[in-house]
Amino acid sequence: NAGVMQNPRHLVRRRGQEARLRCSPMKGHSHVYWYRQLPEEGLKFMVYLQKENIIDESGMPKERFSAEFPKEGPSILRIQQVVRGDSAAYFCASSPQQGNSPLHFGNGTRLTVT
């Protein structure tokens, strides 16, 4: 019974490149959430998606960041033209439904921008 799978586990990008982070939710889960944890800071909500829909993107930076959760395949968090300040751990979580369902988190992708 696989949990939330994120890949890659570690990603190194040079400034100006693009980063693509992938998340496969737990089987049967149709709700996906992305969180970011900057060095020495707490986890911050970024975006909430259901299949083919962005439900809440209030935590996403206005530029360079986008997320999708297509009908088939994993959810993707895309960061264009990365800068050093994007270096962080990015966590994906999933849940089976809205309501009082706990979130199941993956082990994150650690992005380092050089």
Residue 101 as a binder of another protein (CB under 8 A): the answer is yes
Pairing of strands 88-95, 19-24: unpaired
Separation between Cα atoms, residue 78 and residue 71, nearest integer Å = 17
Please list, in sequence order, all residues whose beta carbon lies within 8 angstroms of the beta carbon of residue 12, skipping any fewer than 6 positions away: 111, 112, 113, 114
Is the CB of 29 or the CB of 64 nearer to another protein?
29
Omega within 30 of 0 (cis) for the link into 8: yes
Q: Return the half-sphere exposure (C-beta side, CA atoms, 13 A cut-off) of residue 110.
A: 4
How many residues touch another protein under the rule CB under 8 A: the total is 27
Residue 99 as a binder of another protein (CB under 8 A): the answer is yes
Site string for another protein, 19-58 (x = CB under 8 A): ------------x-x-x------xxxx--x------xx-x
> Quick one: which segment of 12-20, 60-68, 69-77, 100-108 binds another protein (CB under 8 A)?
100-108
Which residues lie near another protein (CB under 8 A)? Answer: 4, 31, 33, 35, 42-45, 48, 55-56, 58-59, 91, 93, 95, 98-108
